[in-house]
A and B are shown apart, each in its own frame.
Chain A
Amino acid sequence: MKGGLRFEGVRKVYRWRGSRVRHESVKGAVLGSWWRRRRVKAEEHVALDGIDLTIEAGEAVALIGPNGSGKSTLLKLAGGILRPTRGMVDVEGRVTALIELGAGFHPEITGRENVLINGMLLGLSRSEVEARLPEILDFAGIGGFIDQPVKTYSSGMYVRLGFAVAVAVDPDVLLIDEVLSVGDEAFTRRCLDRLAKMRQAGVTMVLVSHDLDLVETFADRAVYLGKGRIRARGTVDSVVARYRSDVAGATEKPAVGGVTRGGIDGEVQRWGSGEVEIVSAELTTTTGATRLVPGGTECRLRIRYRAHRRIEDFVVGVAWHRADGTLVAGHNTDLDGLVPKSIEGEGEVSCTYPALDLAPGDYLVDVAVHAKDGAAYDYWCDAVRFRVTSTVDWPGVWAPFHRWEWDGELFE
């Protein structure tokens, strides 16, 4: 069936991404190999790893996750724009990517010529483009401007024409990267209408968007990416809810005048307005702070904070993850029914766990102080890292205290 997508064990590594020396030079290539090898190693960035994903023909799937989580990379792999470093990407049928509308337009030549070129770049023959020209012009609605050089177009006309060409090629798979947010409202509505019709016609759609409301209305399924791995997948409602709770509804971009700390390669690992700051977070057992916790012991998560002004609307929360990104647990003072009074100055909040019944492995804890509506004062990803040890290598995440009982002489 045309329109299916399959990712198997896909890994994508960028080299020299986001580095100061962006591109290799002949000079660099001629210099010593020792120096070069060191540099190359230092500038690798794993954008995606261990991605196994199947999208059936006719499905509408949304990719969500924070900036730098690998959504766009995944989309470009699906479009054949990028190739996986490892693994396999298999896409059946004609793919069109709506990544940047009108990206291929040449400013000096007319809209008509640009439509022809773009259509052919997208895989149509010359006569096919000409046959669809009336439909394209109708959707773009730019009238006589079609015979003017594209440089004379307004940005709205530009985008409309770009969209019209891209959807006119009758793709089996449509990849959409944030393009619905570029035009005015009328344009967005028309685009959505057009996309909805295409969906009914059975076109597979993969959508990348930060607009979670759009995602919820548009997609059947969602895939939540974080740090290049799939953190969750399933029905769109459940995955979006998970994502919302993970980021506590905070936008990835800091509030105006706020702070963004940490982060490599543009990946925000800590964000928020900074009105309340998390000074430190650590895991302690009866023997003090530790990064090595025997499974089943009592421990306490201690969070030191500093509030720069008096705030009455606040929630303190934590989210526990496995090193592979699996969410283990999440709780906050609001879910636990605590009613905030006020937070001001420096202080400490701690959460106690009578027995840490976790299977052995590496764990990460996100710590956050945010408003009740989710706007973060300080959201710190992976604030605490530690390893749970055990005498037995228990599988899974939960290693509870347990006991077997039996009749007769079943066991020694």
Chain B
Amino acid sequence: MTLVRLLWRQRALVAVLVRRELNARYRASVLGFLWSLLNPLLLLAVYAVVFTYIFHPRFPGGDPYPLFLFSGLLPWLFFSGTVLDSSVTLIDNGPLLAKVMCPPEIFPAVTVVSHFVHHLLALPVLLAALVVAALAGWHPFPMTVWLLPVALVPWLLLAGGAALGISALSVKFRDLRDLVGHLLNLLFFSSPIIYSLDGLDAPPWLERILRLNPLASLVEVYRGVVFTGAIPGIRLWLVALAVGLAGWILGALIFVRFRDTLVESV
């Protein structure tokens, strides 16, 4: 696809812009890049307290729950953050698009890459938590962690496609941004992030709907690798990859469709 080739040619620019994004974000803060580590750590701490001492959700294979939740939440935060930011990235960079000549596809790319960097920075927290849980005997260490890079592929594809499609559409449809927030909420609760699809005590019609959710496969693959410790079935892998690819292609098609007229609408 030409879009991939265009982006590859701009990789140096994307890298510089990602650094700008990260630099600008941390410039005025004392802790700087530590925030990337601290944010997930605080999140995990809060969950650990709330779900150990206040709520006691029970799912087969869902123990300890804070870790279970965290392993589902991390990729979700990457995805939802990317999608939310991509709905404003072209508009925010409007001056660059309109006054300096630059290819518009770099901006959704920068959004995806900078959120991905954040995700990578949060992974040490997850690994440390897994090690602690293993040492304390709460949860065996998942030996499948080395498969994580593979599990991230469908996430990257889907987030990339979503960023491309939504960034272009949100220029044309200014109210898309609000809509995206609501849709993300809906998607969050219909994905097996705070619960597991196994042993779900829900009416059959609801469970059927939940299983249709394309994001479910991605969440399950990721969690299977970094939490459960069992290599997910080949079918699940393929479904997740297919969802990622479909998301990428759809998003790229939408972006290419609007690419040439973006500048006028920004």
Q: Which residues of A contact B (CB under 8 A)?
A: 14-17, 23-27, 29, 76, 79-83, 95, 97, 99-100, 103-104, 106, 108-109, 113, 116-118, 120-122, 125-126, 149
Contacts and interface: CB of A to CB of B under 8 A. Distances in A.
Given A82-B264, A108-B28, A126-B12, 11 more contacts: A15-B264, A17-B264, A81-B101, A95-B101, A97-B101, A99-B100, A104-B95, A104-B102, A108-B23, A118-B100, A120-B13
Nearest to B102: A121
A149 B17 contact: no
Nearest to A149: B27
B20 A104 contact: no
A79 B16 contact: no
B100 A97 contact: yes
Contacts of A121: 13, 96, 100-102
A104 B100 contact: yes
Contact of B173 (A15, A25, A81): A25
Contacts of A120: 12-13, 16
Given A25-B174, A26-B175, A100-B95, A106 B16 contact: no
Given A81-B98, A97-B99, A100-B99, A116 B173 contact: no
B173 A29 contact: yes
Nearest to B103: A121
Nearest to B176: A26
B236 to A, nearest CB: 33
Nearest to B26: A108
Contacts of A104: 95-96, 99-100, 102
Given A81-B98, A117-B16, A109 B173 contact: no
A109 B175 contact: no
B234 interface: no
B247 to A, nearest CB: 20
Contact of B263 (A81, A95, A108, A125): A81
A103 B16 contact: no
Interface string B175-199: 1100100000000000000000000
A91 to B, nearest CB: 11
B95 A79 contact: no
B27 A117 contact: no
Contact of A82 (B20, B102, B176, B263): B263
Nearest first, the 10 A-B pairs at minimum CB distance are A103-B99, A108-B24, A100-B99, A23-B174, A103-B95, A104-B96, A121-B102, A25-B175, A99-B99, A26-B173
A122 B264 contact: no
Contacts of A95: 101
6 contacts: A23-B265, A25-B175, A82-B264, A103-B99, A113-B20, A121-B96
A241 to B, nearest CB: 32
A117 B110 CA distance: 13
Nearest to A99: B99
A109 B174 contact: no
B260 interface: yes
A126 B14 CA distance: 12
B39 interface: no
**Residue among B13, B20, B23, B101 with the highest chain A CB neighbour number at 10 A:** B101
Contacts of A29: 173
A109 B96 CA distance: 16
Contacts of B20: 106, 109, 113, 117
B174 A113 contact: no
B100 A122 contact: yes
B139 interface: no
Given A27-B175, A82-B263, A108-B28, A103 B12 contact: no
Contacts of A109: 20, 23-24, 27
A104 B174 CA distance: 23
Interface in B248-266: 260-261, 263-265
Contacts of A82: 263-264
B16 A126 contact: yes
B173 A79 contact: no
Interface in B207-260: 260
Of listed B17, B27, B102, B172, residue having the most chain A CB within 10 A: B102
Contacts of A122: 100-101
A29 B174 CA distance: 12
Nearest to A98: B99
A82 B98 CA distance: 8
Contacts of A125: 12
Contact of B24 (A24, A27, A106): A106
B99 to A, nearest CB: 3
A30 to B, nearest CB: 10
A80 B96 CA distance: 13
Contacts of B98: 76, 81, 99, 103
Nearest to B173: A26
A304 to B, nearest CB: 42
A70 to B, nearest CB: 14
A101 to B, nearest CB: 9
A149 B263 CA distance: 28
Contacts of B24: 106, 108-109
Contacts of B99: 81, 97, 99-100, 103-104
A115 to B, nearest CB: 11
Nearest to A177: B99
Contacts of A24: 172-174
Contacts of B100: 97, 99, 103-104, 118, 121-122
Contacts of B101: 79-81, 95, 97, 121-122
